Amino acid sequence: MPTVRSFAGGPAQGRLYRGKLDEYYDLNKQEARAYGAYAVATTLLPNLVTALVLFYGGQLVLNEDGLTSGQLVSFLLLLGSLSEGFSNMGSIFSSITQALGAADKVFELIRRPPQSTPLPIPPLAPAFCSGKVELRDVTFRYPARPARPVLNKINMLAEPGKVVALVGPSGGGKSSCVALLENFYEPESGMVLLDGRKVQEYDPHWYHRHVSIVSQEPMLYARSIRQNILFGLEGEPDEPSEGEIIEAAVLAGAHDFILGLQSGYDTEVGERGVCLSGGQKQRIAIARALCRRPRVLLLDEATSALDSDSENLDSILVVRDGRVVEQGTHTELLGKVGGMYSQLVCKQVDALETANTICNEQEKS
Ligand SMILES: Nc1ncnc2c1ncn2[C@@H]1O[C@H](COP(=O)(O)OP(=O)(O)OP(=O)(O)O)[C@@H](O)[C@H]1O
């Protein structure tokens, strides 16, 4: 609704909706006609048969042509039971046909062969995870768009305890790297590794307890803030305590605003978190990820802003058109005159300086 209103899309959307309604109306009319014909046939035919039997049988009785009135009545009663039996068989047959149609779809889904590599038996679930993450010569294309490679022989290494950032223009392939690390897809060639083993070999439950993500558009569910932070851990043997939930919220910078809400951690966030601001949703998503005490934390950030924290990153990879075009620390990359990273930073500094100049001029005037 807000999008339709903001872009004055009411009339156009109305026309689209009207078109769909007309289609639906036409289909309903067809169905009504077919049903009418069926109803006429099923009510008219038995009555017609009864009338014919009465007429012909009555003649036989009146002419004393070997049929007594008792026999005619018995025949009519039996005919009634028989036609009821046939009509029941008809409705059972149509139910069976409907059920078979629906079952076809269900079995189609059940029998769909999985596209992912089968898990080894037993799947990996080591007692310790150091958190070394690596993409090795990874080439990848999305199944929905097989013609276009999204990642092209990409390499990335994040040692335990280190912070590695992927930066670069929109559509370069950063989120796709994250999706591969989450094991949502498998690479076409190359390997995605955690502690030197392919991520496909790990038990999925174990894996996602050690690798957490905060996605670009965090998804919250229509339940309380506490339940959203705990998501998936309720009833688990290591379900976090109230203290641990609060600790995660404090680390995510969410605790103060949560306490400011009327019901604190019990506040309902609404469908998809509509009762919260974008920033608040993101902080709750960060608390949800931290609550698991992951060894690897993936933060997929939509904004392109490089802030002062960039200086503190251990390694920065500039990703463009599915390739790593530059790699190094903030200082090293800034030193590459004409390099993509230094251009990105310069653009941002220019924008900031222009904004500062405008502000200063406004203050003076
Ligand atoms: N589910 C998908 N199916 C098909 N193509 C996709 C899908 N998701 C992303 N793409 C395509 O893959 C390419 C890389 O997208 P990706 O989201 O990895 O870029 P990004 O660098 O994270 O961009 P941004 O900085 O805007 O988040 C884009 O061209 C995009 O259109």
Indicate whether 63 belongs to any domain: yes
pLDDT band at 357 (very low <50, low <70, confident <90, very high): confident
Residue nearest to atom 6 of ligand 1 (CA): 142
Region for 94 from its dihedrals, namely left if φ exceeds 0, alpha if ψ lies in -120 to 50, beta otherwise: alpha
Mutate to test the pocket of ligand 1, among 142, 217, 320 (most ligand atoms within 8 A of CB): 142
Cβ contact 131:112 at 8 Å: no
Cβ contact 188:322 at 8 Å: no
Environment class of 211 (CB within 10 Å of its CB; exposed 0-12, middle 13-18, buried 19+): buried
Averaged pLDDT for residues 239-260: 93
Amino acid 311: pLDDT = 67
Greatest mean pLDDT among 111-120, 248-257, 312-321, 345-354: 248-257
312 lines ligand 1 (CB under 6 A): no
From 129, 193, 133, select the one nearest 157 (Cα to Cα): 133
Distance from the CA of 252 to the center of ligand 1, in angstroms? 27
Averaged pLDDT for residues 125-144: 93
Indicate whether 157 belongs to any domain: no
pLDDT at residue 333 greater than cutoff 80: yes
Averaged pLDDT for residues 322-331: 90
171 lines ligand 1 (CB under 6 A): yes
Query: 46 lies in which domain range?
Result: 2-110
What's the ipTM? 0.96
Amino acid 257: pLDDT = 92
Indicate whether 254 belongs to any domain: no
pLDDT digits (tens, 9 = 90+) for 19-47: 999 999 999 999 999 999 988 888 888 88
Amino acid 176: pLDDT = 94
Indicate whether 75 belongs to any domain: yes
Residue 319 Cα: closest atom of ligand 1? 21
Amino acid 80: pLDDT = 86
Indicate whether 48 belongs to any domain: yes
Residue 145 Cα: closest atom of ligand 1? 4
Number of domains in the chain: 1
Indicate whether 131 belongs to any domain: no
308 lines ligand 1 (CB under 6 A): no
Indicate whether 15 belongs to any domain: yes
pLDDT at residue 354 greater than cutoff 80: no
Amino acid 173: pLDDT = 92
Considering the entire predicted model, what is its pTM? 0.76
Mutate to test the pocket of ligand 1, among 138, 148, 152, 175 (most ligand atoms within 8 A of CB): 175
215 lines ligand 1 (CB under 6 A): no
